[in-house]
Amino acid sequence: MSDWKVPHEPWIVGHRGAPRRARENTIDSLDAAESLGADAVEFDLRQTRDGEAVLFHDEDIVLGNQRIPVRTFTTREIEKLQLPSEFGAYRIPRLEDVFHRYGPAMRYVVEVKTSPHTQLALMARRVARVAAEFGVRARCLVASFDAEFLRKMREADASIATSFLIDHPVALPEPGRPTPLFPPADALGPRCDLVTAPLLAQAQAAGLSVHPWTADEPAEIRRLLDFGLPSITTNVPDVALAVRAEARGASVFIAEGG
């Protein structure tokens, strides 16, 4: 059974690791999130020309004055790149690098980015195979804005939990009514400002857990925690962890009649 499909306390998820501490989507950033105590890490995947899954958010890599699509590089070419950032030079990791480093000791929100050129079925099989090889299928929530990719992911490995990401209101499935535009998914990943009591009621009726992104302000983190959501994704896991600890302390105080 997937860790993401069973009830649990709210997990704090480091968005692309801890991007205020290191370059996003790098091992350094994921290490920083782990060291801060994040319950899970989120990262973005893109597909290379030879079908590899690598950690990168944008569709293009900037090299000097050029913007070159990730999909045009082979894995070997990606591995040779050393790119500049405000935190210093960095390299682009592969999905294997992440799972090899943390294995089942970490939980993962794996966001798959797609473009019209992405081979969806191949990418789904790749994610499923690497997760199986490293024994982390139960630790992964595979998320995407691409409904068709999520369908391919379900076909590749139905045991891996999936989340449909949204950045605008959408019609959620209703019991007993077909919803052909909504992909088979276990969860909904809304932008945090979309989270309201009515949305949560609709998601519950549809059998979807809700995992919002990206909450950085303490007040917003506190608002989401008050809903009892299973996870909150944030750029500042240290801040979110402190807010959660505060909320826990307040709950204990109230329960004890303080």
The answer, yes or no, to whether residue 230 has pLDDT greater than 80, is: yes
Question: Percentage of the chain with pLDDT > 70?
Answer: 96
Measured between alpha carbons, how far is 148 from 188 in angstroms, rounded to an integer?
A: 15
pLDDT of residue 176: 74
* DSSP of 117-165: T--HHHHHHHHHHHHHHTT-GGGEEEEES-HHHHHHHHHH-TTSEEEEE
Residue 252: predicted pLDDT: 46
**Could you list the residue range(s) of the whole structural domain that residue 185 is in?**
3-255
Question: Dihedral sign, CA of 200, 205, 211, 212?
Answer: negative
- What percent of the chain is modeled with pLDDT above 90? 91
In Å, what is the CA distance from 227 to each residue of 22, 192, 240? Answer: 30, 12, 15
What would the two tokens of residue 187 be?
A: 């969860």
- Only one residue has tokens 């991007």, namely 19
Average pLDDT of the segment spanning 59-80: 96
Region 59-83: mean pLDDT is 96
Give CA–CA dist 242/218, Å, rounded.
Answer: 9
- Of 112, 77, 72, 79, the closest CA to residue 94 belongs to 79
Here the tokens at position 175 are 């019991």
pLDDT at 219 over 70: yes
Question: What's the rounded mean pLDDT across residues 126-139?
Answer: 98
3-state secondary structure of 207: coil
Region for 16 from its dihedrals, namely left if φ exceeds 0, alpha if ψ lies in -120 to 50, beta otherwise: left
Q: What's the half-sphere exposure (Cβ side, CA atoms, 13 Å) at 10?
A: 25
| Both tokens assigned to 174 | 């209703």
Domain containing residue 129: CATH number: 3.20.20.190
User: In whole angstroms, how large is the CA radius of gyration of the chain?
Assistant: 18
d(CA 130, CA 143): 16
Mean pLDDT of 199-224: 97
pLDDT tens profile 87-129: 999 999 999 999 999 999 999 999 999 999 999 999 999 999 9
Q: Is the pLDDT of residue 178 over 90?
A: no
Domain count, the chain: 1
Q: What is the mean pLDDT of residues 48-59?
A: 98
Residue 253's pLDDT band (cuts 50, 70, 90): very low
